Structure 1
Amino acid sequence: MRWYPRTLAGQVAALALVVVAVVVVAGSVLAAIDARVDGDRAARDEVTAVAVSLADSPSTVEALTSPDPSATLQPVTDRIRRDTGVAFITVLAPDRTRYTHTDPALIGAPYIGSIDAALRGETMTETYTGTLGRSIRTIAPVRGPDGRVIGMVAAGITQRSLTSTWRGELPLIAVTALAALMTAAAGVWWIRRRLLRQTGGLAPDDLRLMYDHHDAVLRAVREGLVVVEDGRPALVNAEAQRLLGIGTDTPADDLPDFLTREDDAVVDELYAEGGRVLLVSRLPVSGRRRSSVVTIRDRTELAAAMGELDSMTRFAEALRSQAHESANRLHTLVALVEMGRPEEAVRLATTELELSQHLIDRMTQAVAEPALVALLLGKSAQAAERGIAFSLTEESQVSDEATQILSPAEMITVVGNLVDNALDACDPDDPWVEVGVVGDHAALDIVVADSGPGMDADLFSRATARGYSTKTGGDEAGRGLGLALVAQVVERHHGTLTAENTYGSVVSVRIRAVPSVVGVTR
């Protein structure tokens, strides 16, 4: 049978009650001891005051020099004894002969106690057992006109009367202790109820087990997890630290906005943050304002793969369309030959070949980076499939040294996303997209224009800074992140990204080479 409470609240309450009980009992005992010590001290002060006052009184000196000191002093000492409550007042001669006593029958008998100090003219207090029992007594010398000790005054209070006095204080001490215990019990009961609500009635072992499991889950889960409390991260697991580069002490200005936003639950929103594509879900904590649990999944590789798959799908569709068109042209050429008009067949075939070859030659001559050429050719085919006029500006020229500013992968990210946005945004009534790329060892300029309406400054700022999208499925996977990814590449290389509406919607990227630091020897 368990003799102690099971729950944490019960154990805390029991421990607190035991501690309070021990403190109250110890305090009560100390209070009783203090009452007795104070009583003894007060008794010493009182008997000393009585003895010294009576010894210094001129009437006492006069009585001691009279023929019958007892007749004068006994009534006086009886009155003083009744008024002060002392047990006895004895006036005695230097040879110990009593002139007064509480029991008149003992007058004339020798005094029992120490008188040596009084004979030397000193006042002395002691605890001694006399005719009335054990008592606290003070003996003071009485000096004659010539300064000699002509007698002594002894005053005392019995221990029995002192004991009854301090014992009379015990009921008050007991009532005070009982009141303190009842108050403490009420407080402990309230604490127990509060702890029961806060701990769910769990035992310490259960709480420890929950903590161990909680810690193991945080370390084992492959998703980033952030617990937000009052708009601040209260808990950040290792995966969230890796993905976001934040901790619980990160300043609020450095936190991603999806952690500090105050809105309803969010399920699988795409964000571009720190060069990564993140899938974010947030669930508010019930009953707690600005508190939520945020889960984060890294979709960077998946988004890249989906982007490549989307590009390959569009490219395959373009090839399929071109194959269809080529078949139509081939049938036309065969028909012209069969009709006996070979010259027209040759002219039609060479015209199409020259146009295609001219585009390839133009891009190859202007752009030295093969990956960028392939991207532009693919986008050209994609535009042709969608009936969009796609062109490369005459001043476009990219040298091999431009890869020192942006890597081929970063060039593809910037140009590919800007062209994709332009293809989607151009005016259906007059669809056209124009690309200009100029780069060398000093700077790289990328300009993509289209016939669309463009974006105002606020919309462009939100698209580049936040880059989130709720479209997470099907062909729309990864959309809404293009400008954000471009902005991250530009920011990483300290470039500029601007948008304006002039001859069309124009988005410009300019990145300058970082000058190398050369040491100078003096």
Structure 2
Amino acid sequence: MIHRWSIARRLFVANLLFVLALTAVVGTAAFVDARDRTYDETGRRMAALAVSIADNPLVLQAAASPDPSARLQPYALKVMDNADADFITIMAPDRTRWTHPLHEEIGQPYIGSISDALAGHVFTEITAGTLGPSVRTIAPVKAADGSVKALVAAGVTVRNIDVAVAGRIPALLVIAGGLLLGGSLTSWLLGRYLRGVTRGWGPEQLAQLFAYYESVLHSVREGVILIDSKGRVVMYNDQAAELLGLEPRDSGDDPANTPLLADLPLAPSLKNLFESGRAAHDEIHLTGSGVLVVNQGPAVGPGSRSGRPAAAFGTAVFGTVATIRDRTEIESLGTELETMRTLSDALRAQTHEHANRLHTMVSLLELGRTGDALDFATQDLELSQQLTDDMVSSVQEPVVSALVMGKAAEANERGVELAVQASGAAGAAGLAVQDLVTILGNLLDNAIDAAADAPAPRRVELQVNSHDGGLEITVQDSGKGIEPGAVDDIFRYGFSTKEAGPFGRGLGLALVKQAVQRLAGTMTITNSGGTGGARFHIVLPAPDPHSLPEEHA
């Protein structure tokens, strides 16, 4: 049953029991201390009384008389009343009482220790006599030569001392009650606070919930990063560390080593998003190695999300939670799909062109102009074959060659002349074909679009120069060019000078920049002087031969 209690209830019960035990211990200690102090005070008072009586010359004179009781009994009774003592017994050294509160006890032997007093010392003891247990002090009555002539015992019964102690009990009870009330109130307030913080769950439930969250956090394929309101990265899972290029961090690490968001090597757009704390839904951000889709929202209590009134601390905003998905593979697949679409369009265009050319050759043959038909077919075949041979020998990637041929067919359909010049050999060996397709495909798409919207002559020039140092790619169009102030913005995701389409714009050149950076290349942009279009010049260094896979070695 106890294991189902919440942390608040357990702490309340434990603290209440502790307060009860503390109150009992403190109360008992205070009572014992008060009793001991009362006994000590009574002993000191009786010692002073006994010594003062023993020093009275009357006692020494009466002890030498034939009937000491006649003179000392009235004196002892008077002093006993004035000094608030229960008995004053003056006795001979042989224990014979000369005075006593009970007249019949006079002449009887004294009950108690007298050895120390006979030796000339004053001592106090608690012992039982004719009146019951009492605190008493025995003092010697000494002659001028130091000999003990009589003894004086003054005391108060324990019963009367206990009555005095009982008079202090109400004050002790007030102190104990204050401790109990204060401790109980503190326990209740602390329990209420913990009930709000822990939602009334017990430690076993919290441990189980933490284990579930920990398992989910590290098993999902999405990256998760938690940032508090002070800009500290509280936690991120392994997938987030991989996507953001961070050092792996475990949730059990020392909280004192929690890194600050400003100190992490994040892409500027991601850092701005995390620092702003604003809500984000499927935002695309580019990093040095990938395309990330980010969602971000506030970290709040569950009450505010469900529409029900939030419990204590439920509506507090503890920071932000961001989830990160890798879209790099999707973009790569999209690029490959676009390449296949381009090739399909190229085949369709070529089929149409071949049909026209075939009809032309058939007509020439029907007219008996066999030589002209042969020259027409040979010329067309030589141009296509030359383009294919140049691209394959320079880039050594059939996919890239097919892409360029497809773009040439697409440009021809849109009334744009695509001039291709390829030179060199073997410089592109080892370069990722996906990155080359991304670079060439997006640059040619933008160049063809720019040239198609410009007045005649509409022309796009592609130069591919392959050498031992790497690969150089130049794409130039006859469009209106790029505004000087927009050169830095064209590579930013979402920026586009074109009309927005159904899937948005502004991703192509951003992917080109990312691919160039991934291949450790450089890119320069200028506006060509004569034709007025934009000119993109890219240099991709040749990979290290030792780092190439076996098929490229």
Q: What TM-score bracket applies, with the shorter chain setting the length?
A: 0.7 to 0.9
| Residues 370, 85 of structure 1: alpha-carbon distance in 2 compared, 3 angstrom cutoff | farther
Aligned equivalents of 1:183 and 1:468: distance in 2?
66
Q: What residue is the counterpart of 1:171 in the other structure?
A: 170
Conserved? CA contact 1:97–1:110, under 8 Å: yes
How far 1:178 moved relative to its partner?
Answer: 3.1
SS in 1 for 2:489: helix
Residues 214-225 of structure 1 aligned to structure 2 (within 5 Å): 214-215=213-214, 217-218=216-217, 221-225=220-224
The residue that corresponds to 1:130 in the other structure is: 129
Decide which of 285, 289, 293 is 1:279's aligned counterpart: 293
Give the deviation of 1:162 after TM superposition.
1.9
For residues 393 and 295 of structure 2, what CA distance do their matches in structure 1 show?
A: 47
Residues 498/93 of structure 1: CA separation in 2 closer, same or farther (3 Å cut): farther
Instruction: Work out the CA distance in 1 between the residues paired with 2:266 and 2:139.
Output: 86
Q: CA deviation at 1:313?
A: 0.7
Mapping for residues 267-346 of structure 1, pairs under 5 Å: 267-273=281-287, 275-286=289-300, 287-289=315-317, 291-339=319-367, 345=373
Contact 1:270 1:468 in 2 (8 A): no
Q: Alpha-carbon deviations, 1:21-52, whole Å to 9, x = none?
A: 33323433333233223333333344344445
Name the CA shift for 1:493/1:32 in 2 (closer, same or farther; >3 Å): farther
1:203-230 CA-to-partner distances (Å, cap 9, x unmatched) read 6665566455545544554444444433
Quick check: 2:475–2:537 contact (8 Å CA) kept in 1?
Answer: yes
Distance in 1 (alpha carbons) for counterparts of 2:266 and 2:147? 96
In the TM superposition, residue 166 of structure 1 has moved relative to its aligned partner by: 1.9
In 2, are the aligned partners of 1:499 and 1:507 still within 8 Å (CA)?
yes
Matched residue, 1:155: 154
Residue correspondence of structure 1 range 19-98 to structure 2 within 5 A: 19-52=18-51, 59-60=55-56, 63-65=59-61, 67=64, 85-98=84-97
Contact 1:369-1:398 at 8 Å conserved across structures: no
User: What per-residue deviation string (whole Å, max 9, x for no partner) do you get for residues 247-300 of structure 1?
Assistant: 365552235627714354333333444634433333333444463333333433
Decide which of 238, 250, 254 is 2:265's aligned counterpart.
254
Letter in 2 for 1:268: D
Whole-angstrom distance in 1 between the partners of 2:471 and 2:50: 112
Q: Determine the C-alpha separation between the residues in 1 that align with 2:425 and 2:33.
A: 99
Contact 1:91 1:154 in 2 (8 A): yes
After TM superposition, the structure 1 stretch with the greater mean CA deviation from structure 2, 204-213 or 132-141, is 204-213
Contact 1:133/1:158 (CA < 8 Å) preserved in 2?
Answer: yes
Structure 1 residue 310, shift from structure 2 partner = 1.4
Q: Matched residues in 2 for 1:209 and 1:305: separation?
A: 41
Give the whole-Å Cα distance in 2 for the aligned partners of 1:53 and 1:508. 120
User: 1:520 maps to what in 2?
Assistant: none
Task: Quote the offset at 1:159 in angstroms.
Answer: 1.4
User: Deviations along 1:76-126, whole A, 9 cap, x unmatched?
Assistant: 766765565444444444343455555566556543221212222333222
| CA–CA separation in structure 1 for the residues paired with 2:21 and 2:336 | 76
Structure 2 match to 1:121? 120
Matches within 5 A, 1:184-223: 184-202=183-201, 207=206, 210-211=209-210, 213-215=212-214, 217-218=216-217, 221-223=220-222
1:160-183 CA-to-partner distances (Å, cap 9, x unmatched) read 122112222222333333343334
Q: Do the aligned partners of 1:268 and 1:280 also contact (CA within 8 Å) in 2? A: yes
Distance 1:498 1:134, change over 3 A: farther
Secondary structure at the counterpart of residue 254 of structure 1:
coil
- Give the whole-Å Cα distance in 1 for the aligned partners of 2:82 and 2:240: 87
Seen in structure 2, the aligned counterparts of structure 1 residues 447 and 163 have a Cα distance that, compared at 3 Å, is farther
CA contact (8 A) 2:464 2:471 kept: yes
Structure 2's unaligned 5+ residue stretches are: 252-257, 301-314, 547-553
Query: 112-121 vs 42-51, which deviates more?
Result: 42-51
The letter of the residue matching 1:429 is A
Q: Is the 8 A contact 2:394 2:426 kept in 1?
A: no
Aligned residue identity for 1:280: V
2:3–2:202 contact (8 Å) kept in structure 1: no
Identity over aligned residues, as a percent? 38
Could you tell me whether the CA contact under 8 Å between 1:497 and 1:509 is conserved in 2? yes
Q: Which residue of 2 aligns with 1:459?
A: 489
Structure 1, 123-132 or 451-460: larger mean CA deviation: 451-460
Q: 1:410, 1:489 within 8 Å by CA — same for their partners in 2?
A: yes
User: What residue number does 1:429 align with?
Assistant: 454
In 2 relative to 1, CA 409–60 (structure 1 residues): closer, same or farther, beyond 3 Å? same
Residue equivalent to 2:426 = 400
Change (3 A) 1:494 1:338: closer
Q: Match for 1:182: what amino acid?
A: L
Distance change in 2, residues 1:514/1:356 (3 Å) = closer
Q: Deviation of residue 312 (structure 1)? A: 0.6
Other structure's SS at 2:56 match: helix
1:141 and 1:151 in contact (8 A); partners too: yes
Paired position in structure 1 for 2:181: 182
Alpha carbons of 1:509 and 1:241: their partners in 2 closer, same or farther (altered >3 Å)?
same
Could you tell me whether the CA contact under 8 Å between 2:420 and 2:461 is conserved in 1?
yes
Q: Is the 8 A contact 2:393 2:425 kept in 1?
A: no
Return the alpha-carbon distance in structure 1 between the equivalents of residues 515 and 72 of structure 2.
Answer: 115
Alignment check: 8 A CA contact 1:90 1:98 kept: yes
Give the aligned residue type for 2:486: D
3-state SS of paired residue (1:459): coil
**Distance in 2 of aligned mates of 1:73 and 1:379:** 140
TM-superposed deviation, 1:443: 5.3
Which residue identity lines up with residue 94 of structure 1 in the other structure?
Answer: P
1:446 Cα offset (Å): 4.6
**Structure 2 letter corresponding to 1:319:** L
Distance 1:318 1:350, change over 3 A: same
- Whichever residue aligns with residue 359 of structure 1, its letter is L
The answer (yes or no) to whether the contact 1:369–1:400 under 8 Å persists in 2 is no
TM-score, normalised relative to structure 2 = 0.73
TM-score (norm 1): 0.76
CA shift in 2, pair 1:490/1:354, >3 Å: closer
- CA drift at 1:316: 0.9
